[in-house]
Structure 1
């Protein structure tokens, strides 16, 4: 595949990632993707012989890896776990508000829609969630938390921000994220 083909494929992955985040798996179609990328329908199957599911999987991995790189950056620069978590929630709030409440978690809608009905896609969503959990677990262990506590705190954080993103999107308000951020900070306050 030439440079133009690689660029077209990457553009399709990135556009699909955005469509999945805003509309979900069921509402995102090949025609819409073609309109957004300026590519004919046949291009999808040329670049992604596995069709929509293959493209969805790559888009989910792209989104998940991008967000994970952000998490790693914040964690590396933060002075403490409490500061890191505050920054993560603040960035999530800025992202959802600046998108007019169209963007939340890049994979949540697709994960919910495909769970039990499209196992290949659902499994990739689970992989991404596992990646995020592992990133936070590793960071917390490096900061002196036990493996078990790091695992529990990471799962609690993910649950807090996923629920808060959903409620913020539904209510078109940053308040759920702000409350979740304050709750998350309490998990890391010294006794």
Structure 2
């Protein structure tokens, strides 16, 4: 594949990432993807012989890795876990509010839609969540938390922000994220 083909493939992955985040797996059609990228439907099968499922998996990995890089940068730049968590929640709030509540978690909608019905896609969702959990666990262990506590806190954080983003999106309000951020702070003050 030449440079132009690689660029087209990457563009399709990035556009699919955005469509999945805003609309989910079921509502995202290949026709819409073609319109957004300016490519014919046949290009999809040329670049992604596994069709929509392959493209979806790659798009989710792309989104998951991008968000993980963001998490890593926040964790590296802050002095304490409490500061880091505040920044993560603040960035998630900014993201969802600035999108007029169209965006949320780039993984959650697809994960809920495909769990049990599209194993190749739901496996990628699980892989991304594991990556995020590992990033936070590693950071917390480096900050002196035991492995067990770091694992429990990471899972609690992920659960808090996923639920809060869903509620914020549904209610078109940042309040659930703000409350979840305060709850997350309490978790760290108690441990």
TM-score range, shorter chain: over 0.9
How far residue 190 of structure 1 moved from its aligned partner, in angstroms, is 5.7
Q: Distance in 1 between matches of 2:187 and 2:82?
A: 8
Q: Distance in 1 between matches of 2:65 and 2:165?
A: 19
Q: Distance in 2 between matches of 1:49 and 1:131?
A: 26
Match of 2:144, SS state, is: coil
How far residue 174 of structure 1 moved from its aligned partner, in angstroms, is 0.1
Superposition CA RMSD, Å:
0.7
Q: Distance in 1 between matches of 2:79 and 2:190?
A: 14
The normalised TM-score by structure 1 is 0.99
How far residue 11 of structure 1 moved from its aligned partner, in angstroms, is 0.2
Counterpart mapping for 1:1-191 below 5 A = 1-189=1-189
Q: Distance in 2 between matches of 1:8 and 1:68?
A: 24
Runs of 4+ aligned residues of structure 1 deviating over 2 Å after TM superposition are none
Deviations 1:47-105 (A, max 9, x none): 00000000000000000000000000000001100000000000000000000000000
Q: Distance in 1 between matches of 2:55 and 2:120?
A: 11
How far residue 29 of structure 1 moved from its aligned partner, in angstroms, is 0.7
Q: Distance in 2 between matches of 1:185 and 1:105?
A: 21
**Using a 3 Å threshold, how does the CA distance of structure 1 residues 18 and 186 change in structure 2: closer, same or farther?**
same
Q: Distance in 2 between matches of 1:3 and 1:51?
A: 21
Gaps of 5+ in 2: none
The normalised TM-score by structure 2 is 0.99
How far residue 189 of structure 1 moved from its aligned partner, in angstroms, is 1.6
Gaps of 5+ in 1: none
How far residue 168 of structure 1 moved from its aligned partner, in angstroms, is 0.0
Q: Distance in 1 between matches of 2:78 and 2:111?
A: 30
